[in-house]
């Protein structure tokens, strides 16, 4: 069984101290994959906490008006930190978003919640060249080859999905039903695999990485948020373990110090450490998301 960590939203406002505090005690065992926002729009360090607290009551007009762009390369301390720890093998990186905002006048379907405002690739537009440009720049900046993508807010439209694939990236998540994906020979094989699995195991998620003609993807991941209880993570893990599958824990470094919603004395990082302690008794292959999704030659 393979295990990896997906961490979204590293951007201009991220500090080396934050990432060190989150991962220094575990990154020699399992290197987390940090999914980057290349040019975050607005004061992320302010809005991420405001939106978490206020949710639908957020002042969205003020959020929209705060549209200054902050390129990640202007945070020299962060870039040096990433370069150093990528070279050591303590970290891995992927691509997450350009601005982490969706300002499309028309969305593929009606979605009027706060989350879609950040779902940058839930779109009717072809964003292929935008993604290629940003990934190439990040590759040069960090001297590292990005091969994986995680969608903002875990939302992709079919247009966004195909743009990511055409840009040459493997995908973690996305929320698109398996029967809507590629219908070439490999796609039909994957459709059959997932359909058969669902018939045989209707209560479980498909637990393996899928290889398509040009890319790989893993449809399911298991979130660690302030609402997540340890037993929920363990149940998800055990459901994957019984199939000797692939388990991705998805989280956000910025929430690690948040108290859990069910116990104010327990932080999200505490839950992570308890969970890692639980799974340590098993013979797992710890890897990055990039390694887990690497296409076999």
Domain boundaries, the chain: 2-293
Q: What is the pLDDT of residue 178?
A: 84
Q: Tell me if 88 sits within 8 A of 144, measured CB to CB.
A: no
Q: Report the distance separating Cα 16 and Cα 19, nearest Å.
A: 5
Indicate left, alpha or beta for 262 from its phi (over 0: left) and psi (-120 to 50: alpha).
alpha
Once rounded to an integer, what is the mean pLDDT over residues 222-229? Answer: 98
Residue 103: phi and psi, rounded to 5, are -110, 20
For the segment 160-212, what is each residue's pLDDT rounded down to a tens digit?
Answer: 999 999 999 999 998 888 888 888 899 999 999 999 999 999 999 999 999 99
Q: What is the pLDDT of residue 297?
A: 56
pLDDT-derived band at 96 (thresholds 50, 70, 90) equals very high
User: The domain 2-293 is classified under which CATH number: 3.40.470.10, 3.20.20.370, 3.90.1150.10, 3.50.50.60?
Assistant: 3.20.20.370
Once rounded to an integer, what is the mean pLDDT over residues 206-229? Answer: 96
Long-range contacts of 197-206 (CB under 8 A, 24+ apart): 204/239, 204/243, 205/239, 205/240, 206/178
Average per-residue pLDDT for the chain: 95
Q: What is the pLDDT of residue 295?
A: 84
Q: Tell me if 131 sits within 8 A of 163, measured CB to CB.
A: yes
260 has which bridge partners? 263
pTM for the predicted model, two decimal places: 0.96
């Amino acid at each position: 069984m393979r295990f990896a960590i997906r961490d979204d939203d590293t951007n201009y406002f991220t500090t080396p101290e934050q990432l060190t505090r989150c991962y220094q005690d575990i990154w020699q065992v399992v290197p987390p994959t940090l999914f980057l926002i290349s040019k975050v729009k607005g004061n992320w360090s302010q809005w991420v906490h405001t939106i978490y607290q206020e949710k639908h009551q957020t002042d969205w007009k003020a959020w929209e008006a705060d549209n200054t762009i902050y390129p990640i390369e202007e945070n020299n301390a962060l870039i040096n930190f990433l370069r150093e720890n990528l070279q050591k093998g303590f970290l891995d990186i992927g691509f997450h978003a350009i601005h982490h905002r969706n300002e499309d006048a028309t969305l593929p379907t009606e979605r009027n919640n706060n989350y879609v405002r950040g779902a940058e690739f839930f779109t009717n537009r072809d964003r292929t060249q935008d993604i290629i440009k940003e990934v190439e720049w990040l590759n040069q900046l960090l001297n590292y080859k990005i091969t994986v993508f995680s969608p903002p807010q875990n939302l992709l439209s079919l247009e966004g999905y195909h743009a990511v694939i055409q840009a040459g990236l493997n995908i973690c998540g996305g929320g698109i039903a398996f029967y809507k994906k590629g219908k070439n020979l490999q796609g039909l094989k994957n459709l059959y695999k997932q359909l058969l699995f669902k018939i045989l195991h209707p209560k479980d998620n498909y637990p393996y990485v899928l290889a398509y003609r040009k890319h790989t993807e893993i449809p399911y991941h298991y979130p660690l948020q302030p609402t997540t209880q340890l037993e929920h993570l363990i149940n998800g893990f055990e459901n994957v373990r019984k199939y000797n599958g692939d388990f991705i824990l998805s989280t956000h470094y910025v929430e690690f110090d948040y108290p859990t919603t069910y116990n104010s004395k327990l932080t999200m990082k505490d839950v992570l450490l308890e969970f890692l302690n639980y799974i340590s008794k098993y013979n797992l292959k710890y890897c990055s998301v990039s390694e887990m999704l690497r296409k076999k030659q």
